[in-house]
Structure 1
Amino acid sequence: MPNRLATESSPYLRQHAENPVDWYPWGTEAFERARAEQRPILLSVGYAACHWCHVMAHESFEDADTAALMNALFVNVKVDREERPDVDAIYMQAVQALTGQGGWPMTVVLTPDGTPYWGGTYFPKDDRHGMPSFTRVIQAVANAYRDQPDAIARTTDAMRALYANSSRPAGPSGTVDAALLERAFAQLATRYDRPLGGFTGAPKFPQTMALDFCLRWHARSGDALALEIAHRSFVAMGRGGLFDQIGGGFARYSTDAEWLVPHFEKMLYDNALLVRLGVHLWQVTRDEEVRRITEATIRWLAREMTLANGGFASSLDADSEGVEGKFYVWTAHELDAVLADDAAIARAYWRVQPGGNFEGHSILHVPVAPALVAARLGLPEAQLRSTIERASGALLTVREQRVRPGLDDKVLAGWNALMARALADAARVWHDPAVRALAVRNATLLRDRLVNADGRVTRVLSGTHGPSIGPGFLEDHAAVALAFLSIHELTLDPAWLHHARRVADAMRLHFFDEGTVAWYDTPSDGEVLITRVRELNDNATPAGPSLALEVMLRFGELDGNTAARSEPLTAMTALAEPMSKWPNAFGYLLGVAQLAIDGAVAVALIGDPDSAGIQALAAAVAEQYLPTLVLASTGGETASAALLEGRAAIGGTATAHVCRNFRCAMPVTDAATLLQQLCTPLAVT
Structure 2
Amino acid sequence: MEHQTFEDEQAAEYINEHFVSIKVDREERPDLDSIYMKAIQVTTGSGGWPLTAFLTPDCKPFYGGTYFPPEDRHGIPGFPKLLKSVSDAYINSRSEIDKHSVKLTEHLEKMMNNSGQINKISESTLKVAFDSFYSEFDHEFGGFGTSPKFPQPVNFEFALRYHIRFQDKDSLRVVEESLTHMANGGIYDQIGGGFHRYSTDEKWIVPHFEKMLYDNALLTSLYLHVYETTKNQFYLEIAEDTLSYVKREMLDQDGSFYSSQDADSEGIEGKFFVWNHEEILEHLGEKEGKIFAEYFGVTANGNFEGKSILIKPNYHQNISPENNHELLKSINLSKEKLLKARNTRIPPETDKKIITSWNALMMKAFSEAAITTNNPGYLKIAKSNAEFLTNKLYKSSILYRTYQNGEPKITGFLEDYSFLIDALLKLHEASFESKWIEIAVDLCYEMVNLFWDDSKGTLYDTSTTHETLVIRPSEWTDNAIPAGTSLAVEVLLKFSVILDEQLFNNIATRILGSMTKIVEQFPSASGQWLNAIDFYTSNNPEITIVGSKANKNTQMLLDEVYKTYIPNKILIGINQKNSNISNLAFTKYKQSILNQPTAYLCQNYECDLPTNDPKILYKQLMKIQ
Per the TM alignment, residue 640 of structure 1 is displaced from its structure 2 partner at its CA by 4.3
Q: Structure 2 unaligned segments of length 5 or more: list them.
A: none
Equivalence map 1:468-479=2 (5 Å): 468-479=408-419
- What is the aligned counterpart of 2:181 among 236, 240, 256? 236
Q: How many matched pairs? A: 621
TM-score, normalization by structure 2: 0.96
Quote the Cα distance in structure 1 between the aligned partners of 2:73 and 2:617: 66
Q: Which residue of 1 aligns with 2:427?
A: 487
**In 2, are the aligned partners of 1:371 and 1:381 still within 8 Å (CA)?**
no
Give 2:530's aligned residue.
Answer: 590
Match of 2:267 among 322, 328, 340: 322
Q: Does 1:345 align with 2:288?
A: no
- 1:542 Cα offset (Å): 0.5
Deviations 1:331-373 (A, max 9, x none): 1111111111211111111111112111111111112226356
Aligned counterparts, 1:108-127, within 5 A: 108-127=53-72
How do 1:28-427 residues align onto structure 2 when only pairs under 5 Å count? 56-172=1-117, 174-340=119-285, 341-369=287-315, 371-372=317-318, 380-427=323-370
4+ runs deviating over 3 angstroms = 370-375, 560-567
In structure 2, what residue type is equivalent to 1:96? Q
**Which whole-Å CA distance do the structure 2 matches of 1:600 and 1:497 have between them?**
19
How far, CA to CA, are the matches of 2:94 and 2:309 in structure 1?
52
Give the Cα separation in 2 of the matches to 1:230 and 1:497.
32
CA drift at 1:569: 2.7
What is the root-mean-square deviation in Å for CA atoms of aligned residues?
Answer: 1.7
Aligned to 2:484: 544
CA contact (8 A) 2:115 2:457 kept: no
Corresponding residue of 1:433: 376
| Contact 1:111–1:117 under 8 Å retained in 2 | yes
User: Distance in 1 between the 2:300 and 2:319 partners?
Assistant: 19
- Taking a change above 3 Å as real, the CA distance of residues 563 and 505 of structure 1, as seen in their structure-2 partners, is closer
Structure 2 residue 583 is matched with structure 1 residue 643: no
Percent of matched pairs sharing the same residue = 36
Tell me the TM-score normalized by structure 1.
0.88
Q: Is the 8 A contact 1:550 1:592 kept in 2?
A: yes
Secondary structure at the counterpart of residue 410 of structure 2 = strand
User: What SS is found at the alignment partner of 1:609?
Assistant: coil
| Structure 1, gaps ≥5 residues long | 1-55
Q: Summarize deviations over 1:93-122 as a string: whole Å, max 9, x none.
A: 111111111111111111111011111111
- The AA in structure 2 aligned to 1:466 is G
Are the counterparts in 1 of residues 457 and 510 from structure 2 also a CA contact under 8 Å? no
Q: Is contact 2:393–2:402 with CA below 8 Å preserved after alignment?
A: yes
CA drift of 1:619 comes to: 2.7
Rounded Cα–Cα distance in structure 2 between residues aligned with 1:592 and 1:659 = 20
**C-alpha displacement at 1:384, in angstroms?**
2.4
Q: Is the 8 A contact 2:257 2:354 kept in 1?
A: yes
Counterpart residue identity of residue 595, structure 2: G
Give matches, 1:494-573, under 5 Å: 494-561=434-501, 564-565=504-505, 567-573=507-513
> What is the CA-CA distance between 1:246 and the residue it aligns to?
0.5
> How much does 1:453 deviate?
3.4
Shift of 1:185: 1.1
Q: Helix, strand or coil for the counterpart of 1:128? A: coil
Contact persistence 2:450–2:463 (CA under 8 A): yes
Q: Deviations over 1:632-661 (max 9, x none)?
A: 022121414211110121111100001112
| Distance in 2, Cα, partners of 1:382 & 1:471 | 53
Residues 186-234 of structure 1, C-alpha deviation per residue, up to 9 Å, x if partnerless?
1111111111111112111111111000000111100001111111111
- CA–CA distance in 1 between the matches of 2:447 and 2:371? 27
Tell me: CA distance 1:348–1:373, structure 2 relative to 1, closer, same or farther (3 Å).
Answer: farther
Q: Which amino acid is 1:71 matched to?
A: N
Structure 2 vs 1, CA of residues 372 and 171 (structure 1 numbering), >3 Å: closer, same or farther? same
Answer yes or no: is the 8 Å Cα contact 1:568–1:596 preserved in 2: no
Aligned mate of 2:402, from 456, 460, 471: 460
Asked if structure 1 preserves the Cα contact closer than 8 Å seen for 2:228 and 2:565, the reply is yes
What is the match of residue 26 of structure 1? none
Residues 113 and 458 in structure 2, CA contact (< 8 A), matched pair in contact too: no
Is the contact made by 1:493 and 1:609 (CA closer than 8 Å) also made in structure 2? no
Pick which of 260-269 and 616-625 moved more: 616-625
